[in-house]
Structure 1
Amino acid sequence: MIALVIDLVLFAFLILTAIAVARLRNLFAVAMLAGMFSLLAAGLFMTLDAVDVAFTEAAVGAGISTVLTLGALALTTSQEKKPVHSSRLPLLLCAVTGAALLYGTLDVPAFGSAQAPVHTHVGADYLARTGTDIGVPNFVTAILASYRGYDTLGETTVIFTAAIAVLLLLGRGLRGGRTGGQ
């Protein structure tokens, strides 16, 4: 029962933070609230026993994204400009996308179901072999570091490449704003 209350409180804070982000025009406050949103999401993932996802969300969502957003904000104004167009089309697009995502969840098996595909295919094989093949006591770490090592390396490379690209773009903005004597 207490776990459900914690989940509901975290989810309520997520919703309130998202509403605040959507309503604010101060970009610094938006950047800070977006970092807070990522930390709340990481906390929610922790309560769902998805430690690897929580760690990634905290590192990438709250850490790197917030730093890069603040770096980009240093090159712009602190207030969002008033939109010149109607927000009805983006709102409609978000509603249609949300409805499609909700429709897509109708086929998802019940949470924790033993008949879920994740439990009936390679998962049992990983659990049976990980202890003898690798010898690492934490199964999530063992699977991410060995069986899915190339996949994890690929994800890390994509994140690193994206960070370098953003830093290069930010650097170009700094050079463009300098005077000719520097």
Structure 2
Amino acid sequence: METFINITLFTMLVATAIAIVRMQRLFAIAMLSGVFSLLSALLFVVLDAVDVAFTEAAVGAGISTVLVLGTLALTSRVAKHSTHSPAIPLLVVLVTGATLMYGTLDMPNFGSPDAPAQTHVSPDYLERSPHEIGVPNVVTAILASYRGYDTLGETAVVFTAGIGVLLLISGLHRRREDEDEEEESGES
């Protein structure tokens, strides 16, 4: 069942990416980008990476979508047609994808019980966490203590993106007030 869910999510991700590439309406592209991030977050949840899923949902689907929509409010709503051939960007994407796939060839199989993470790291965390940290939930102990700097970094990213959204919204508010004042002075 889990394999079926993974394949379904990957298929939806690919379909969403193709739809994004084919569209011309920037608002629809922004919305589909948010959908892509939510699908990615769901995939991370299925792969038991809940902390990464939370960050993807907050930053990718939430704040990034708001920033893109705010940018669209300041610019055009339709993409301009490109004057150059898409062959070079396609080639770059294909080479990058092939390189990433090549880099995964020597990795252990997903969920393999003899993978280094299962034989060395996990048992050590499971044994030491209750005594060193004193938190009964090992995942919380790892995220809050052993990976504290990483979690702090993720929190800083979310905070910075939130501040960016607030600044963008305040700029839009000021712009609308200026436009309203110009309209009122033009009517007089």
TM-score interval for Structure 1 and Structure 2 normalised by the shorter chain: 0.7 to 0.9
The residue type paired with residue 114 of structure 2 is Q
Deviation at 1:67, TM superposition (A): 1.0
Structure 1 residue aligned with 2:64: 65
Kindly tell me the number of residue pairs found equivalent between the two proteins. Answer: 180
Q: Distance in 2 between matches of 1:166 and 1:98?
A: 32
Q: Which has the larger radius of gyration?
A: 2
Q: What is the distance in 1 between the residues matched to 2:169 and 2:24?
A: 22
**Structure 1 unpaired stretches of 5+:** none
Equivalent residues in 2 for 1:42-61, closer than 5 Å: 42-61=41-60
Partner residue, 2:186: none
RMSD: 2.5
On the 8 A contact 1:72/1:170 being kept in 2, the answer is no
Q: Distance in 1 between matches of 2:109 and 2:138?
A: 23
CA contact (8 A) 1:25 1:80 kept: yes
Who is 2:185 aligned against? none
Kindly report which structure 2 residues correspond to 1:154-173, keeping only aligned pairs within 5 A, or say none. Answer: 154-161=153-160, 164=163
Q: State TM-score, norm by structure 2.
A: 0.82
Query: 2:92, 2:60 → 1: CA distance?
Result: 24
Deviation at 1:80, TM superposition (A): 0.7
Aligned residues of 1:52 and 1:140 also touching (Cα < 8 A): no
Structure 2 unaligned blocks of 5 or more: 183-188
Of all paired residues, the percent bearing the same amino acid is 62
Q: Give the TM-score, by structure 1 length.
A: 0.85
Question: 1:78-117 to 2 correspondence within 5 Å?
Answer: 78-117=77-116
Contact 2:58 2:158 (8 Å CA) reproduced: no
Residues 25 and 78, structure 2, Cα contact 8 Å, conserved in 1: yes
Q: 1:145 maps to which residue? A: 144
Cα distance in 2 for partners of 1:105, 1:28 equals 35
**Larger RCO, structures 1/2 (Cα 8 Å, 6+ apart):** 2
